[in-house]
Amino acid sequence: MASKQRAITELRTHIREMLELLAQGSTFPKLSRAQGQVDGYMRALLDSGQATERELLALVADVRREMRGEATAEVTFDEPAIRVA
């Protein structure tokens, strides 16, 4: 359990760093590396069975909320955004 907590804490740090780079308009190589690190941590947690997709999505949402505040509107995907006539 301690290793899962440590991995989640590390992942939280990487997500925060990635979102900061994104907000700063960072260069593509830096942002790509940060995204790769986040993806790698998430894949390792999923593959090892230490976390579920739902847990990881909640983690990302939590970090985004910490950094950017609450969402301003709820987005639903009931209807397609583009209609083809």
Mean pLDDT of the 66-84 span: 71
Instruction: Read off the pTM.
Output: 0.76
Q: What percent of the chain lies above the pLDDT cut of 70? A: 87
Residue 73 gets which letter from DSSP? Answer: S
- Residue 12 class from Cβ within 10 Å (0-12 exposed, 13-18 middle, 19+ buried)? middle
For residue 9, the one-letter residue type is: T
Question: Which structural domain range is residue 57 located in?
Answer: 2-68
Query: Considering the domain boundaries, does residue 59 fall inside one?
Result: yes
Query: Considering the domain boundaries, does residue 31 fall inside one?
Result: yes
Query: How many domains does the structure of the chain reveal?
Result: 1
Query: Considering the domain boundaries, does residue 83 fall inside one?
Result: no
Query: Considering the domain boundaries, does residue 73 fall inside one?
Result: no
SS (H, E, C) 18-43: HHHHHHHCCCHHHHHHHHHHHHHHHH
Q: What is the pLDDT of residues 28-54, one digit of tens each?
A: 999 999 999 999 999 999 999 999 999
pLDDT of residue 81: 56
- From the list 46, 37, 33, 40, the residue with the least C-alpha distance to 14 is 37
Query: Considering the domain boundaries, does residue 81 fall inside one?
Result: no
Query: Considering the domain boundaries, does residue 54 fall inside one?
Result: yes
Average pLDDT score over the chain: 87
Query: Are 40 and 11 contacting, i.e. CB atoms less than 8 angstroms apart?
Result: no
Query: Considering the domain boundaries, does residue 33 fall inside one?
Result: yes
Query: Considering the domain boundaries, does residue 85 fall inside one?
Result: no
